[in-house]
Structure 1
Amino acid sequence: MHVCIVGAGITGLATAYVLQQAGYRVTVVDRGAAPAAGASGGNGAQLSFAYVQPLADSGIWKMLPKLLTEKDSPLRFRLKADPAQWRWGLGFLQACNSATSQASTQSLLSLAAESRVAFEQMLQQESLDCDHKTPGKLVLYPTQEALDTAAQQVALQARMGGATQHIMNAAQVARIEPALGSYAPRMAGAVYTPSESVVDCRVLCEQLATLLQQRGADMRFDTTVHGFDVQGGSIHALRTATGVLQADHFVLASGWDSAQHARQLGLRIPVYPLKGYSITMDTAQQAHAAPLVSVTDTTRKVVFARIGERLRVAGMVEIVGADTTLHTDRIASLQQSTREVFPQLNQTADVQPWTGMRPATPTGLPITGRQRGGPGNLWLQTGHGALGLTLAFGSAQRLLQQMQTA
């Protein structure tokens, strides 16, 4: 059975790996010149298997006026004459209630648990060298009220069978991560999850692509999708800039392009790009000043992850459509956040700036499987938002199960 997968980010490559392991013949198509050319290339590097609070949460209503009006807000919204943006925005606001947030949390926790098992099995089997570590994660909160709200989320996740988590005060946080010592007076405390890990997603994707190719997969980069030939309710072939590609099944794992590709097949899926930014700094000569534990600062909506001898700093949410411009003021904001949280860390001239588009659904729940009204041999694997790295292998396993029972 031959499966063509559109997209060579972490979700597409994880899907290709799982399907190939199950005996499927795999072709991967991507418009980029190499794996992880999109959102996977410079993401936050954190594997958040245990702390998966969706972006659409009832607490957003209290924060929204400030997020929309502050000059240096991590959220930037540019209203466009784009029905897809309006539909996504309205869907997101409708999802910002306690009932929907709790249901999404339950679904994400279940998928994340499956993904942890599949990801760790893959790492053990393949012995990949991709800076995978398990340093734990601290999610910092500025006020006692915010920390108390986080404690409610921790209690909810504990009732749902989530991993062990602890509520820490500022002094305890500084003992767990000494590099946060000077920042401790500016926080009330944190949620600490000892089991959380990090990985270099770009390197992981590169090594997965190499494995796939060595085992017979057809990897086609620099290949733009032009459309699909549909006959009798099934996709007969994929039309690309380099020719026509036939297969038995087709998987859309093309990130924020997946909505456009779906429209070519007459489908409208609730996936919209949420633009993010990151910088990556060399910390080899000042390891003591950079954190070992992963850190998420909820005040700035920025994550800090140590990957080998580098520090990845990532954040921002821009709802601006297909604007892929790397804006220098956003990079400067990440640098300023780094100076404030880790003032002893001297930033090098080369901070390796990056921007990418996260494919998100309004609820935060990814779309995996067939779509009603679509071709019978079309499978979706998209909408993972900021949790693509976390959920990729669990989503791949679920897609395999669906295909095997179809």
Structure 2
Amino acid sequence: MKVLVLGSGVVGVTSAWYLAQAGHEVVVVDRQPGPALETSFANAGEISPGYSSPWAGPGVPLKAIKWMLMHFGPLVVRPKFDPYMALWLVRMLRNCTSARYARNKIRMVPIAEYSRDSLRDLRAETGIAYDERSQGTLQLFRKQSQYDGTGGDIEVLKQFGVPYELLDPAGCIAAEPALANVREKFVGGLRLPGDETGDCKIFTEKLAALAAEKGVTFRYNTTVTSINTSGNRIASVSTETEELTADAYVVAFGSYSPFLLRRIGVPVPVYPIKGYSITIPIADASCAPESTVMDETYKVAITRLGDRIRVGGTAEISGYDLTLRDARKATLQHSVGDLFPGGGDLSKATFWTGLRPMTPDGPPIIGGGTRYQNLYLNTGHGTLGWTMSCGSGRVLADIVSGKTPDVDASELGINRYA
């Protein structure tokens, strides 16, 4: 079967890889000149199944007000006349209950765990290298209330058999020795030893090259202008210069997926949440992180990627605005400089922003279930596109191929919004 994949970020490329592995003829289309040049370009670098949690949860509305008032706050809302923003916010707030948070987290953790395992299988099969490390993630608590509030998340980790360690300061320092320099700034942490790190852009570029060797065609510098329908099927996809046809179509355009899908009567509740990162060269390895440290207070991830430190975070609700704002850079610099002073050369930091495709409830949208029999979605992964990419691509390939996925994906379809 010929399959057209729209999007060459990490989710689109992993979808193409697993579709090709399943024996399909695959063509990938993207407006960029290469893979992983938008949201996958410079994310935080963490592969953290255990931290796969919806943003919508009990207490979040009140916390959001506090975050917006903080000097180095993790949340910024820039209101504008945008009905899609308003609708998304209302839907997100409706999911801020204990029951919905638990349900949505239970939907997210299995696909994230499956994805991490699929990535390990892929790495063993291909030998792909991408500055990866398998040394876990440490969620660092500056306040006792944060440490004491881990019970709910730990119950979910136990439910799915995810290994974890609740650590005192000495345990945190054993996992991340550089934190000994700032012992007075934290009270403890929650460590997930099964988590990994790696450079998403390098991974996506290398996997795209391997996929091309397997026969996948990549059509870069190609802008999709419309999806064309005939009855209950997708008939073709129009670009600026031609029409492309296939037997099945996969939309993996991230935050931009709704633009095309709305026009054919498929309202996908995905909205962009802007994130920022800085990448700094390591100045002193003994003062740098070993893996990923999540600064819980500022919601910032600090990750070791080879000879660099990637610092990612903040959530800015401002539509499709890609402006680089110095205030957000200051938050990232403050977090890494406060916890790992001297570890990186901040004077040489490169600054980046990208749009995370967020659903209002948290889980991604994977599979069919739309009014069109040959249309499939793989989008809405939010901050977890890198974490969930291999599992999502593998599940999507199974669904397209008419196979039952190894992990239950029945509640990840778009029909949950019906």
TM (norm. structure 1) is 0.96
Offset of residue 172 of structure 1: 2.0
SS in 1 for 2:310: strand
Aligned pairs for 1:18-29 (under 5 A) are 18-29=18-29
Q: Tell me which residue corresponds to 1:344.
A: 342
Equivalent runs, 1:139-154 vs 2, <5 Å? 139-154=139-154
Measure, in 2, the Cα distance between the counterparts of 1:328 and 1:19: 41
Which amino acid in structure 1 is aligned with residue 119 of structure 2? F
Distance 2:229 2:379 in 1: 21
Q: How far apart in 2 are the matches of 1:305 and 1:85?
A: 31
Most deviating of 327-336 and 303-312: 327-336
Matches within 5 A, 1:369-388: 369-373=367-371, 375-388=372-385
Contact 1:173 1:184 in 2 (8 A): no
Q: Distance in 2 between matches of 1:113 and 1:65?
A: 32
**Which digits, 9 at most, give the CA deviation of each residue in 1:244-297, with x for residues without a partner?**
1111111000010001121122211110001000011111x5111111031000
Alpha-carbon distance, 1:346 to partner? 4.5
Name the structure 1 match of 2:194.
195
1:69 counterpart letter in structure 2: L
Distance 1:56 1:11 in 2: 23
Dislocated runs of 4+, deviation >6 Å: none
Match status 1:392 vs 2:392: no
Match of 2:257 in 1: 258
Stretch deviating more after TM superposition (302-311 or 347-356): 347-356
Deviation at 1:222, TM superposition (A): 1.3
Render the CA deviation track for 1:39-97: whole Å, top value 9, x for unaligned. Answer: 11110110012222221111313412212333432101011111110111011111111
Is this contact kept in 1: 2:50–2:195, CA < 8 A? yes
Distance (Å, rounded) in 1 between the aligned partners of 2:38 and 2:362: 19
| Alignment CA distance shift 1:346-1:121 (3 Å) | closer
Letter in 1 for 2:385: G
Counterpart residue number, 1:110: 110
Match in the other structure for 1:65: 65
Contact 1:106 1:157 in 2 (8 A): no
Deviation of 1:106 after TM superposition, in Å, equals 1.1
CA contact (8 A) 2:250 2:378 kept: yes
Cα RMSD, aligned residues only: 1.4
Deviation at 1:219, TM superposition (A): 0.3
Q: Which runs of 5+ in 1 are unaligned?
A: none
State the TM-score, normalized to the length of structure 2. 0.93
Number of paired residues?
Answer: 403
Is the Cα–Cα contact under 8 Å of residues 8 and 29 in structure 1 kept in the other structure? yes
> Post-superposition shift, 1:155?
2.5
Q: Hey, what does 2:12 align to over in structure 1?
A: 12
Structure 2 alignment gaps of length 5 or more: 404-418
Q: Aligned residue for 2:278? A: 279
Give the corresponding residue for 1:44: 44
Q: Secondary structure at the match of 2:378?
A: strand
Identity of aligned residues (%): 34
Partner of 2:411: none
Q: Secondary structure at the match of 2:348?
A: coil
SS in 2 for 1:131: coil
